Amino acid sequence: MKSVTIKNHQESLKEPSVVWEKYTRDAKANSNRYFVFYEGKDRQYYDCRIRNFTNNYNAYEVGGKSKVLQLVDKFTHEEGYKLKNKLFFIDKDYEKYRLDSDVYMTPKYAVENFYVSHTAIERILKTHFGINEDDPEFSKVLDFFNERYKEFIQHLTDMNLWAICCQLNGVKINFDLLGLKNSADKIVKIKHEEKLELLVEDISFNFFESMYEKMLSEKIKKGSEKNGRNYVSELSIFRDRREHIHYTFENDIEEYRIHIEDYSRGKQLLWFLKEFILSVENKNGGILKRQFFIDDRAIMTVFTNCADTPDCLNDYLKRKCCLAFN
């Protein structure tokens, strides 16, 4: 019970009202600086990139995308506040369009997507495993990574398209129910030298739809609710909009399908990266002699200097971090 209380307390500190109170207190003490607002733990990615432009900033973790946007709205409409020295960072998720210029939104699903590019893997091999481009292991690992990564994206394509179709019809999927929020270990097993091993018989749109309905029904039977979620209502809405969801999948999803890599869930991609690295380590029958301890909680921080930095992020920081404070 104690751990739940601590967790709830930690989450409450990320509520917009609490963050706003802390910001106003800090700004009153020293307003001649930048104030940066992140979604969740994305600070692990952004901080070192912001420091390329300025060290003069205070940073705040906000509970999620919608809560960051609540703060943007408050700054915009609250009398006496301006956005010029405020920076806001959110994930694209399944959104198709960009927001206003004062908010930076990732061009891909989330910041975690920047950790799994070809160039990011090259940097990880050089920096953390001490391998040079001329070493035979270098090209081998890269080739294996590119093959497995392509398979991974393909295996999860229908899952992501299903979730996109649901969201476009007002149904936000709770991936916790499917056990797929932070990984894909219920669907695939990663082996660097072999094709990904599927752990389920079906990975189609219909499979995820029926599995989700089943999980919601089981929650209702158990009479369990979590964080105030009303599973009876969620199941009712899910069923009511099923026909519209199917119509969207069959008629209005082509652009998402073409760019599905950009809409692949970031935490699952980060899990793939970790599992791939573990599989190529020598102790697991791999080809890399050096072993590397990977802490799930710190993986973004450890590899942050190896992750890609898109041009649009540098452009945003260059434009926003140009004030001359007194």
Query: Do 121 and 265 belong to one domain?
Result: yes
Query: Do 67 and 129 belong to one domain?
Result: no
Percent above pLDDT 70 for the chain: 92
Query: Do 33 and 145 belong to one domain?
Result: no
pLDDT computed for residue 145 by the predictor: 96
Q: Is residue 63 part of a domain?
A: yes
Q: Is residue 235 part of a domain?
A: yes
Query: Do 223 and 118 belong to one domain?
Result: yes
Query: Do 103 and 211 belong to one domain?
Result: no
Q: Tell me the mean pLDDT per 10 residues along the chain, length 326.
A: 50 84 95 94 95 96 93 87 92 82 94 96 93 94 96 97 96 94 94 90 95 94 73 95 97 94 96 92 76 81 96 96 78
Query: Do 89 and 232 belong to one domain?
Result: no
H/E stretch holding 39: strand 34-39
Q: Is residue 325 part of a domain?
A: no
Query: Do 145 and 282 belong to one domain?
Result: yes
Domain boundaries, position 103: 2-107+310-320
Q: Is residue 19 part of a domain?
A: yes
For the stretch 163-207, pLDDT in tens is 999 999 999 999 999 999 999 999 999 988 889 999 998 999 999
Alpha carbons 100 and 104: distance in angstroms, whole number: 8
H/E stretch holding 37: strand 34-39
Query: Do 82 and 136 belong to one domain?
Result: no
Query: Do 191 and 165 belong to one domain?
Result: yes
Q: Where are the alpha helices (DSSP H) in the chain?
A: 2-12, 16-29, 43-50, 65-77, 118-129, 136-155, 157-168, 175-178, 205-222, 231-240, 242-251, 254-258, 266-280, 299-302, 311-320
Query: Do 160 and 268 belong to one domain?
Result: yes
Q: Is residue 176 part of a domain?
A: yes
Say if pTM beats, i.e. exceeds, 0.85.
yes
Query: Do 146 and 189 belong to one domain?
Result: yes
Q: Is residue 263 part of a domain?
A: yes
Query: Do 263 and 121 belong to one domain?
Result: yes
Q: How many domains does the chain have?
A: 2
Q: Is residue 43 part of a domain?
A: yes
Q: Is residue 245 part of a domain?
A: yes
